[in-house]
A and B are shown apart, each in its own frame.
Chain A
Amino acid sequence: MSIAHEFDYVKARTIKEALQLLAQPGAVPLAGGTDLVAWLRDGAVSPACLVDIKALRELRGLRVQKGQLWIGANTTFAEIIESPLVQKHAPLLMEAAGMVASVGIRNRATIGGNICSAVPCCDSGPPLLVYDASVHVATARGVRKIPMKKWFLGPRHTALAKGGLVAGFSLPIGKHAGAFAKLKRYRGEDLAQASVAVRVAAGGEWRVAYGSVAPRPLRGPKVERLLKGVKSPDDALLTKAAALAESEIAPITDIRSSAIYRRLMVGVMVKRAIQMAAARLGGQGAAYGVHVLEEAGS
């Protein structure tokens, strides 16, 4: 038996049923399971009951409504990559989704699960942060919207209260360009050693976020202030941006990388992601979905 711990399993048919089940002690939601089942195998978690939420209609779907892109929590990374709506309104998220693990994981892993696992290296964190997304949490008392900026509290720790269920995400839409850079130990599947998401709108409104270089994915306000109003940053500004980026992260040394390597590479990555985003805003630059670190700055 590969999972020693014993637990119950219930497939919820409605949100109401899911919320009632999740209110019980030791109940946790199960979506794609690519993190949860691995943690169960490791003995890292020991729930009393898994509530399978994959059949919930309310957690599915990709659509534009009221000037926002709605992404249901149960949307898989494979679905995000293939969605014309994501490609049009949130291309940076598509670029990041293409970097998540491998096809076999992306066919199963959901964006809701990725955000709830809340590991510091999660690939959807930085893009959702720069898109100023809101997390829609279903509770027994109705839906609560939590801004992404307030979502991540620490490693595997989020603002989700017991009994709540992430239903999906809303992203304000508007003309912009972006780039996602992910540093890995090798080509192919790997967790991020560091990641950088950059989004720029016409008029030079820049947003920057980092992954895997702090206890949680975080925004980069210093770099954002530096670039404010600038359309295409020159080399001097890029060098300043790199130095500021290195100063607003808190990387650690672990099995994937040393802290100093992470810090220095974030400087390089911020430069290249900014260059790529600026080029894309001007109608140039590589199509979304490339490995930005291999394309930009070369």
Chain B
Amino acid sequence: MKHITFQLNGSARSVWVGPNETLLDVLRGKLGIKTPKEGCGRGDCGACTVLLDGKAVRSCLILAVEVEGQSVTTLEGVGQKGPTALQKAFIENNVFQCGFCAPGVILAASALLAENPKPSEAEVREALAGNLCRCTGYEPIVKTVLAVAKKTARQSTSRRVRS
């Protein structure tokens, strides 16, 4: 067993892990973090998406020992101060059905908007291409991400004009 310490949703966490435990196993089984899901277990579906130092990655393909000293964000960390504008819009538009893909989609879309606040539709589709959803046909998800980006851009422009 190895003792690792890393930032989880803004707080330092320490845990004993075996080298063969994936980050997903440890988050769900040892740290009570249940939003990352195991879908395919081989990096194709994106249900296990977490942010590692701000970048969307597959927690099913990362060993827990690898994240020593790094920062991991899950959906639990995104909604700490209440739902974000993106989450609110997803709820308002009733974007998800079963919700299994939702944590991964929200994290992947949040990482995209943080890096690229004004993405094109093609960029949104590419950023979410690795997050499979079997309910929605993706259209409401893509439309909502674009609408939130547009609204945020408008708000930041009007704030700049006022100041």
Contact = CB atoms under 8 A, between A and B. Distances in A.
A38 B130 contact: no
Contacts of A105: 43, 58, 61, 130
Given A37-B22, A189-B44, A9 B57 contact: no
Interface in B9-41: 18-22, 24-25, 38, 41
Interface string B103-141: 000001000100000000000011101110000000000
A9 B58 contact: no
B145 interface: no
Given A33-B66, A104-B57, A107-B57, A40 B130 contact: no
15 contacts: A7-B20, A38-B61, A41-B41, A41-B42, A52-B66, A103-B108, A104-B43, A104-B49, A104-B58, A105-B58, A105-B61, A105-B130, A107-B55, A107-B57, A187-B129
B62 interface: yes
A128 interface: no
Contacts of B2: 9
A188 interface: yes
B65 interface: yes
A173 B125 CA distance: 33
Contacts, number: 97
A102 B125 CA distance: 11
Given A103-B56, A103-B130, A9 B43 contact: no
A53 B52 CA distance: 18
A168 B1 CA distance: 32
A101 B20 contact: no
A231 B65 CA distance: 53
A127 B157 CA distance: 42
A50 interface: yes
B60 interface: yes
Contacts of A33: 61-63, 66
B127 A103 contact: yes
Interface string B70-104: 00000000000000000000000000000000000
Contacts of B43: 34, 38, 101, 104-105
A9 B41 contact: no
B63 A9 contact: yes
A54 B19 contact: no
Nearest to A105: B43
Contacts of A107: 52, 55-57
Given A9-B63, A101-B130, 12 more contacts: A5-B20, A7-B19, A9-B19, A33-B63, A37-B62, A50-B19, A102-B46, A104-B43, A104-B56, A105-B130, A108-B52, A108-B62
